[in-house]
Amino acid sequence: MLSKNTVKYIQSLQQKKLRDSYQCFIAEGPKLVTELLKGGLFTCQEIYALPQWIQLLPAGMVEIYGSRIFEVEDFELEKISGQSTPNQVLAIFKQKQADPSPDFKNKISLVLDEIQDPGNLGTIIRIADWFGIQNIICSLHTTELYNPKVVQSSMASLGRVNVIYCDLAAFLAMQKIKKYATVLAGTPLQKCTSVKEGFIVIGNEAKGIKEDLIALCDEKITISRIGQAESLNAAVATGIILHHLVHA
């Protein structure tokens, strides 16, 4: 039986302020939790799970995590879960300190200017992980990395990509590596040759990239439109651009 204080603590991690102060975050569901545990990507603090999840845990994992696993009943999981349909297990992990100054040479890095939708940020992290991108640099107003919706949609890619938050104008001004702004009017992506080193800047869902940041970029690229849709989803645009620049 979970104590009132435990329930309160776990519920409090739905709020950014409390996640910041405890330096923890929540992950839910058998697939995500198991992958995070297997990869050892984050330090696990506690696991709250239904008996059916615990029974299926491989012996090796029970040895490592056994003392941190608490069996709960359905109604308890419902209380602590942030999901509309709780799914067997909720785990609390320690947040990781990002590497603030990784080496950007000979690789492509992503730069995000105020991505607001947590689902988009999570999906972009997963796309980055698919294409072997190691670093994402986010503006200070980009949605928070450990928001439960970011965590859920990034899958375990969250632990494999280094995500830094900083002032983008200052950051880009300092970089000597080529910077590509993705905008509505630029060089059609299909005419771009492959890129081995560079920063790809992706803008806010509604407003695009801020003018002062575009001015700091060396090249403008565009996904050519053939039909009539007003815009492409930011994560979809990121996937299209990365696939082309990595493989062209």
Separation of alpha carbons 10 and 79, rounded Å: 9
Do you know the residue count of the chain?
248
Cβ of residue 228: shortest distance to a copy of itself, in angstroms? Answer: 6
- Residue 114 as a binder of a copy of itself (CB under 8 A): the answer is no
169-177 contacts at long range (C-beta below 8 A, 24 or more positions apart): 169/212, 169/213, 169/216, 171/111, 171/137, 172/111, 172/199, 172/201, 172/213, 172/216, 172/217, 173/216, 175/104, 175/199, 177/104, 177/105
Which member of 123, 143, 147, 152 binds a copy of itself (CB under 8 A)? 123
Cβ of residue 72: shortest distance to a copy of itself, in angstroms? Answer: 26
Which member of 121, 133, 201, 245 binds a copy of itself (CB under 8 A)? 133
Residue type at 69? Answer: I
**Per the structure block, which two tokens stand in for 173?**
């001004």
The arrangement of strands across the sheet holding 24-28 comes to: 24-28, 89-94, 44-49, 69-71
Which member of 132, 141, 167, 207 binds a copy of itself (CB under 8 A)? 132
Cβ of residue 215: shortest distance to a copy of itself, in angstroms? Answer: 27
- Residue 231 as a binder of a copy of itself (CB under 8 A): the answer is yes
Which member of 69, 189, 195, 209 binds a copy of itself (CB under 8 A)? 189
Which member of 147, 152, 157, 204 binds a copy of itself (CB under 8 A)? 157
Is 138 in contact with 234 (CB distance < 8 Å)? Answer: no
- Residue 226 as a binder of a copy of itself (CB under 8 A): the answer is yes
Nearer to a copy of itself, 19 or 244 (CB): 244
**Per the structure block, which two tokens stand in for 190?**
């299909």
Residues 25-64 that bind a copy of itself (CB under 8 A): 35
Residues that bind a copy of itself (CB under 8 A): 35, 119, 123, 126-133, 155-157, 160, 188-190, 223-233, 235-240, 243-244, 246-248
